[in-house]
Structure 1
Amino acid sequence: MTETLKANKSTKNDYFKWAKRYNALREENTEKFKWLNLALMILFPIFITCMAEINQCKKVSVFARFVADRPSVILFDFAAACVIFILLLAAFRKGWIAALVQSFVFMALSITELFKYNTNGNHLILSDMKLVKSVKSLKSFAYIKITPALIIYCAIVIALLVVIFHFNPVLPHHVPFKRAIAGICCTILCTGMIIVPSFYSPVYKLFKLDTTAATNAFILNEKFEHNSFLAFLVETASESYSNRLSAPDNYSEELVDNITDDVAVASAAGFKDGVQPNVIVIMSESYADFRIFDQIDVDDKYYEGFDKARSEGYAGTAITPTYASYTVRSEFELLFGLPVRGINAPNMPQRVLSDREQPALAQYYKNWGYKTAYVHPFLGTFYSRNRIYGRFGFDEMIFHDDIDNVTDFTVPVEHYGTYVDDKTVYDQLFELVKSTDEPIYIHTTTMQNHQPYDQGDDPNDEFGNYLQWIRHSNEGLTVFLDELKKLDEPTLVFFVGDHFPSMRGETSVYNQLDLNGSNCSVLYEQEYFIWDNYGADYSCVPEEPVSFFYMPYVLINIIGAPHDEFIEKMNSFMENVPVYSLDYNDGTPDNVDLDVLTYDRVIGDVYSPCPIPSEAFESKKGAE
């Protein structure tokens, strides 16, 4: 034992001696190879920019064509990378540390962009990084494929880092003041490039960056093609900052009262014909009817259950606020009856809500004597739903966590593909209806049809597998509605898909449709149905397409629930501004009244008529 300890100690001593000798050699290299180190430091920002761009392009030839077509954009990338590198040098002094940090950030963003676009056909923007806390759940969405090219590009970066580490470029000790000045100047430049329009606008113009306002996902992707990776990240960060939310001009109780006082309030005497039905809102993940496209031949068999429900109830079209991703935008509009455009259309609107009880639609149903429930067969922590949605007025929230094997479902959970089978969700909805004595309002956001679509009859036929998933969902839907027909409880069902599905960037079915930023509005049109088992009157349902956020008021009108001034005002908006979405039509002018009411209810002081007792807000204001 003693000899073993001595041997281990000797090995450690040998290692420390070697490390000491090597560090001494590196220190010699700092002085001995000054010109080489200077060259490494000058060329490194250009090198890492090229590697990040080549990695997300996948091929050197693609990057070369972009450089030839858009040389000014690449010059912008180089300049931005140089500023960042100088800032890191000023902070760390040692060249290898600055190079390591910048390499990690640039390549991590490049790899994330590569996987994101390959997964859902949308490019990375910096606000997407807010989802980093949900990386465990995101792994189930993404097509992550480690290719030889990716390994080679990363190996090249690592090799240069080793070279820089060996030759050890270091800023002299005696220039702390100059380092501080350089760091401050670079910080000002980086900050100004994001938040000061008078600075970045002429810079973007000088380098010929595409600064087109990205009012839909296709325009955003076209902007990426013009700006490529790094310039795209910077420019969209500027656009996002300039679009940040602020209180409306002259926001006050008087302003809100003036907006809502011009409506005649309907009688609050009770429900139509004395019937208080269950209300079930089903927002089906990635459900879309591709039969609207003549370019692709889709068999009606995949949509049999959907067609049957539409023939038995009311069929219409609603305008979703999103395409391919950001389900929470559609969810926000259905849960609140408010437009995401009213709060500047953030990708994740739940992140801008005030930290308080929220006047969501569930609060109205509670006031009308309903039980309320939210059902989502996925992690409650994703998008922080379990924390944030608890303020929306739901008596019960039901989630399912496959990662930690925890579920709130009270029915047997089965899977179809990667996620919980829609049939399981329908079973849970039926169980909630049966087990509740009072009428119940339920909102469910399903998961079965979410990508990836690499499971099915042919793992490589993404669209074919998607249709297989849709058909299975429709089969479960038919069984669910048939069960409700037998149930002696009046029930109203609203069914709609949240958005068209995400498909792989370069090989998706969307490439067959020749869609672009000017003709993609059809992808924001979602077919829906309203179905009932008690003879509901659909005469109040608008015949023309309306935005998602109006559909809750359509349901309220069908069941004849009491109206306050706010509901009446939203009904008037539905007549005069049926579609309020830049993604669908960027020519629709801003509606100040709609924007003020949206801000007031989810961020402001809730001056508008509200289902939550005013004491709750008064106590909050008093505490502030």
Structure 2
Amino acid sequence: MMMKIGKMRDDKKYIGRGIVNILVGIVVSFLLSAVSLYFATDKYGIEMFQSYFENGYIVFLNTLPVFFSIMFVFLICNQLWIGISIASILVIVLSLINYFKLLFRDDPLLVEDLTLFSEMKNMTGRYKIYINRDMILWILGMTVVIFVVWKLRKIIKIEMQISTRIISVIMIVLCGIGCMNQFILNDEYYQKTENIALINRWGGTQQFISRGFIYPFLYSSKDVGMKKPDGYNKKEIENSLKDIKEDDIPEDKKVNIIAIMMEAYGDFSVYPQIEFDSENDPYAAFNRIKDITYHGNLLTDIFAAGTVRTERRFITGADAYPSLRKNTYSYARYFTDQGYCVEGSHPCYSWFYNRINVNDHLG
């Protein structure tokens, strides 16, 4: 009887410590998520920060990954303070990188950017990064939290057998993958986090900011990499290109090249049913330019939306292209190599389709 009572007490102690660890993990996850949201607001400030908490999905989806990270490390090493430490380092570092990237380039940190180490190194070399008071307070605050949990480690530690920990790790991984697919990468939940009161809904960067940082950062993993076209064979492509050489343009063949894309332009003079008299021909100037230039017709598959695809197909010659988050070869770079002065502009906002950064990457 005494042995049973002792076992019951041990079980209660085991369960009680487990609940304490989970509750501490939840509280710390929320704190990390909340401060990360504070640094995700960019120029929108406190109004944007407050708007996050008006949409429960935003808070939930920014906090959930942090909690799973803490629990995953905790179950591996059986020390909650280590799980909190590693999760804190990840959240703080990535959140501050996103903060400075938005500040300097009006461009958020995406999962794909983690592979662009040279780009990140160049960025840090070009800008002066200042750690402000709020950042210092965040780092110090989390250091205090970690220290407190470390001091309590013997009180809240759970003595788990290796087999129990292995099973627990497998379960947390499966739950994490399930939540990632069910919530983080689910377009339905992306729509539920719509938060457009303070932003222009057509700006990709602004859409990112309106959802915080941790959640849209993970959601961006959906766009990593390019889908191979049907029938793609790398070896065949390499063989077909190996004999093609990029020649220089002879000096006496260099001409000025001016490309003007007019989104809503239509040449109605091609229709025989419409006639214009010589005095009121709206295409007279256009036709005079055609008479002294090389010209032809360009057929596009874009109407009313996605016009940037035509721009980028024109400048790269590619039907499909990567996300253009790093320097990418293009006709602009070729002409630069040939001694041309290459410039480009667009009358809309620079953030539209992220032209401010993508055009620079295209040269």
Q: TM-score, normalised by structure 1?
A: 0.37
1:157 matches 2:135: no
Residue among 175, 183, 195 paired with 2:169: 183
Partners in 2 of 1:47 and 1:99 — Cα distance? 11
SS in structure 2 at match of 1:139:
helix
Q: Partner residue of 1:338?
A: 317
Shift of 1:279: 5.8
- Please show how residues 566-605 of structure 1 align to structure 2 within 5 Å: none
For 1:148 and 1:252, locate their aligned partners in 2 and report how far apart those are by CA, in whole Å.
54
- Alignment of 1:127 onto 2:105: no
Is residue 2:318 matched to residue 1:495?
A: no
Q: Secondary structure at the match of 2:125?
A: coil
Distance in 1 of aligned mates of 2:141 and 2:210: 27
Matched residue SS, 1:159 = helix
Assess, with a 3 A threshold, how the Cα gap between structure 1 residues 100 and 250 changes in structure 2: closer, same or farther. Answer: same
Post-superposition CA distance 1:370-401 (Å, at most 9, x none): xxxx9xxxxxxxxxxxxxxxxxxxxxxxxxxx
User: Higher helix fraction: Structure 1 or Structure 2?
Assistant: 2
| Percent identity of equivalent pairs | 11
Contact kept, 8 Å, 2:72 with 2:169, in 1: the verdict is yes
Residues 94, 42 of structure 1: alpha-carbon distance in 2 compared, 3 angstrom cutoff: same
Structure 1 residue 153 displacement after superposition: 1.8
Name the residue aligned to 2:80: 95
Q: How far apart are 1:331 and its partner, in Å?
A: 11
Tell me the C-alpha RMSD between the 2 structures: 5.0
Report whether the alignment pairs 1:173 with 2:152.
no
Give me the whole-angstrom Cα distance separating, in 2, the residues matched to 1:57 and 1:199.
Answer: 20
SS at match of 1:128: helix
Check the 8 A contact 1:113/1:123 in 2, yes or no: yes
Unaligned runs of 5+ in 1: 1-29, 257-270, 283-312, 315-329, 354-359, 362-373, 375-440, 445-491, 501-509, 527-547, 550-624
Instruction: Check whether the contact 1:112–1:124 (CA below 8 A) recurs between aligned residues.
Output: yes
The answer (yes or no) to whether the contact 1:331–1:498 under 8 Å persists in 2 is no
CA 1:85 to 1:521, structure 2 compared with 1: closer, same or farther past 3 Å? closer
Post-superposition offset of 1:107: 0.3
Offset at 1:119? Answer: 0.5
Letter in 2 for 1:130: T
CA distance in 2, matches of 1:521, 1:52: 23
Match of 1:348 in 2: 326
Q: In the alignment, does 2:200 pair up with 1:222?
A: no
Which secondary structure state, in structure 1, belongs to the residue aligned with residue 341 of structure 2?
A: strand
* In 2: Cα distance, 1:247 partner to 1:61 partner: 43
Aligned equivalents of 1:137, 1:85: Cα separation in 2: 32
Deviation sequence 1:93-134 (CA, Å, 0-9, x none): 101111100000000011101111110111111211223355
> How many residues end up aligned between the 2 structures?
279
Alignment partner, residue 40 of structure 2:
56
Task: Give the CA deviation at 1:65.
Answer: 1.0
Question: 1:556: which partner in 2?
Answer: none
Distance in 2 between residues matched to 1:108 and 1:499, nearest whole Å: 34
Q: C-alpha separation between the residues in 1 aligned to 2:251 and 2:46?
A: 65
Deviations along 1:52-109, one digit per CA (max 9) or x if unpaired, are: 2223348994465123332221112222222222212122210111110000000001
Q: How does 1:464-475 map to 2 (within 5 A)?
A: none
CA distance in 2, matches of 1:153, 1:132: 26
For residue 231 of structure 2, what is the aligned residue in structure 1?
A: 250
Q: Distance in 2 between matches of 1:42 and 1:163?
A: 16
- Which sections of structure 2, spanning at least 5 residues, go unmatched? 1-12, 238-247, 258-291, 294-310
Whole-Å separation in 2 of the counterparts to 1:203 and 1:124: 22
State the Cα distance separating 1:525 from its structure 2 match: 12
Q: Secondary structure of 1:246's match?
A: coil
How far 1:192 sits from its partner (Å)? 5.2
Contact 1:280 1:493 in 2 (8 A): no
Residue by residue, what CA displacement relative to the aligned partner does 1:321-359 show, whole Å, maximum 9, x if unpaired?
xxxxxxxxx99986xx533x5134442376xx9xxxxxx
Question: Structure 2-normalised TM-score?
Answer: 0.59
In the alignment, residue 115 of structure 2 is paired with which amino acid? K
Counterpart of 2:162, as a letter, is: P
Q: 3-state SS of the aligned residue for 2:340?
A: strand
Structure-2 change in CA distance of 1:499 and 1:42 (3 Å): same
Task: Confirm or deny: 8 A CA contact 2:119 2:326 kept in the other structure.
Answer: no
Higher strand proportion (structure 1 or 2): 1
How big is the shift at 1:180?
2.3
CA distance in 1, matches of 2:49, 2:183: 32
